[in-house]
Structure 1
Amino acid sequence: MPSTKINAMTQPEWRELGFFYDRDDDLKKWRLRGHKAGLRQFAERMRTYASNPRKGVVSEHEHFGPYKYLEIGTWPTSEITDHWIAGPVSEIHRLAHLIADHLDTAIVGDCIFLRAEFAPSSSYEFVLEIETDNFDPAKADIDCWP
């Protein structure tokens, strides 16, 4: 269990990120939980990543969140694995737009499954879970609370 000091540092990092994520290796899926504004921040960071000319090189990547295990990266083909969500920058950009488009019509309680639209042959699913506007991503991290 993390120390009280680590928890005190981790909680604001979740809140700044705007969503909570985890990876379930048994079910083979990445899950991002957040309110629409927090998930839009993720889409915007993906767009920023894809617009950066330095990110066009294969294996470039960016880590997200307090634990840094959610990773977006540049790869020749689109894929969702236990390691990352990756693809050519043009596809990362397209995924960011897909997320934004889905959020435009999503309602609280919706689950948006993105593997079929982004990387259908991937071994992992990528799911956005839409929460209420008062959702606190730090409270979703059970390791942050004694």
Structure 2
Amino acid sequence: MDKLSGKAADLTRAEWRKLGFYYMSHEAKKKWELHGSKNGLLKLCDLIKQFADENREYGDHEHLLPHWYLTLTAMDSFTLDERGIGGTPEQLRNFANFFQSKVFISKIGSTDCLSKEAFSTDYSIEYTVHGDNFDPSSQDPQL
């Protein structure tokens, strides 16, 4: 992976900070890895709920910046896979609420996992809770 420099690096840092958390997909391990403060990780829950509230048509999707790897998709059944998170509005809201409850009870410095078995999906989500001053761009190997 090549390092970004100049304006591209600055823009990417700003996008991570606005998003509030860092994400990376690990295909071999079939998991998404997330890093953020509690508030940063809760932003993902908010984004999922906002997407669900838009009640989009099947197949509509939204890529989360900065690298556009993680995608929210309107689908007819819940999925967590190499593309991201998909499902019906109700399934997406239920997942966001479940993840939100897990983040609320997590301790700073802890790493936890939403197993693929719990949701009968291809991928799991491993998340690490950092302190309030955490900069998600610090995890990006391209910066």
The total of aligned residue pairs comes to 140
Query: Deviations along 1:16-58, whole A, 9 cap, x unmatched?
Result: 10000000111111111100001111101111111113x1x21
1:61 maps to what in 2?
A: 61
Alpha carbons of structure 1 residues 89 and 112: separation in structure 2 relative to 1, 3 Å: farther
Cα deviation 1:44-82 (Å, max 9, x = unaligned)? 1111111113x1x21111111211110011111111111
Counterpart code for 2:31:
K
Moved over 3 A (4+): none
Unaligned runs of 5+ in 2: none
Aligned to 2:16: 14
**Equivalent residue for 1:124?**
123
**Higher normalized helix content (fraction of residues):** 1
TM-score normalised by L of structure 1: 0.89
CA distance in 1, matches of 2:109, 2:5: 33
Report the identity percentage: 26
Residue 98 (structure 1) aligns with: 98
Give the match for residue 72 of structure 1. Answer: 72
Structure 1, unaligned runs of 5 or more: none
**Partner Cα distance (1:100, 1:24) in 2:** 22
Aligned partner of residue 77 in structure 2, secondary structure: coil
**Could you say what the CA RMSD is over the residues aligned between the two structures, in angstroms?**
1.4
**1:125 positional shift:** 1.1
Correspondence 1:39 to 2:38: no
State the distance in 2 between where 1:112 and 1:52 align.
30
SS at match of 1:32: strand
Q: Which residue of 2 aligns with 1:111?
A: 111
After superposing the two structures, state which structure 1 stretch, 37-46 or 101-110, moved more: 101-110
